[in-house]
Each structure stands twice: as structure tokens, then as C-alpha cells.
Amino acid sequence: FTDLLASFRAKGLGVADLVWHSGAHTIGISHCNSFSERLYNFTGRSVPGDAGPSLDAEYAANLRRTNCTTRTDNTTVVEMDPGSFLTFDLSYYHGLLKYQGLFQSDAALITDEAARADVESVAKGPPEVFFQVFARSMMRMGMIEVKTGGDGEIRRHCAVVNN
């Protein structure tokens, strides 16, 4: 959590931004090898206050059995927000509170008191509150180190520098 927050702070963002940005994991998929360390080198379920982030043991066992059957699997995809991975909703936060955040960065959010309070508060709904705080936080991100005048370029394809 400390590392995540430090990288957000370095860009002028804060705890709430970290929590709302992570909410983007309500949609999308991941490859097993992005988190299989947590499935195959798991040191035991920790609780907030303990050293490590945590993953629900039953959920982890199910992922090992059904989805990421080997540690090196880099082809199978899993839903980041199971059952709701195409819907922008609150279930990512509900999952977090059940220790079902897929990544360490997800699990880390509930290890910090202030971040956990944000998660608990938004998880109660209504979803419109999440939509609003997410949108504002995205706008704040969009204002990081904006280039103006002749600096930089507008990309024709967002993933690559123009050639």
C-alpha cells in the first residue's frame, strides 16, 4: 500500500484516487501469470494489520483448480470482477471486502484504514456515487503533466508514438 500510495502521491494524487482508480478493475480480464504468485506461493491468509495482502483461501483454491492450473500459465484469462466483468458496478468493491481482489494492489487497499473506509463507504452504494468519484478522479489523472504548446504530440494511435 505504501508503494502504491507513494507512486500516486508523486503525481499529485492521493488515497481516494488510488481507491477509485482501482475500481476500474470492475471491468476486464487478466492473464493468470499476472497474479499466480498469489495462488502458488501463498504464505497464508493475512488480515489487515498483518504483513501481507490477502486472498480468500477458497477463492484461491478454486482459481487453482478451475482457471490457473499451473503457475506459469500465461494464456488463460480470468475475470477481474467475477460474474460482472463487463459491467461497471460496485461488485469489485464487494469482492475486495471478501478478500477476492485478484491483484496484490487490490488486496492492499483494505490494509490501510483510510482506503478501507473509502471502499466500505462506496460499496454501500448507490452506484452513482462511485460513478461520480471515479469520473472526477479520472479527470484529475488526465491533468497530470499535461503538455502544452509545441511540447509532445497528439497520437494517431494511442498506444504508440507517431512515426
Ligand X SMILES: *[C@@H]1O[C@H](CO)[C@@H](O)[C@H](O)[C@H]1NC(C)=O
Reading the block at residue 95, the C-alpha cell is 469482492
- How far is residue 120's CA from residue 98's CA, in Å, rounded to a whole number? 11
Tell whether residue 67 is a contact of ligand X (CB under 6 A): yes
Q: Which is nearer to ligand X, 97 or 104 (CB)?
A: 104
Residue 3 is assigned to a ligand binding site: no
Q: Which is nearer to ligand X, 18 or 39 (CB)?
A: 39
Give the one residue of 21, 82, 97, 131 binding ligand X; rule: CB under 6 A. Answer: 82
Tell whether residue 70 is a contact of ligand X (CB under 6 A): no
Total site size for ligand X, rule CB under 6 A: 8
Does residue 102 sit in helix, strand or coil?
Answer: coil
- Rounded to 10°, the helix 2-9/15-22 angle is 110
Residues 6+ apart with CB under 8 A from 33: 71, 72, 73, 74
Burial label for 40, CB within 10 Å (0-12, 13-18, 19+), is middle
Tell whether residue 68 is a contact of ligand X (CB under 6 A): no
Residue 2 is assigned to a ligand binding site: no
Residue 43 is assigned to a ligand binding site: no
- How far is residue 163's CA from residue 156's CA, in Å, rounded to a whole number? 9
Q: Which of 32, 113, 128, 127 shows the shortest CA–CA distance to 74?
A: 32
Binding letters toward ligand X, positions 27-66, x by CB under 6 A:
--------------x------------------------x
Binding-site residues for heme b sit at 25
Binding residues, as ranges, are 25-26, 81, 89
- The contact set with ligand X (CB under 6 A) reads 41, 66-67, 72, 74, 78-79, 82
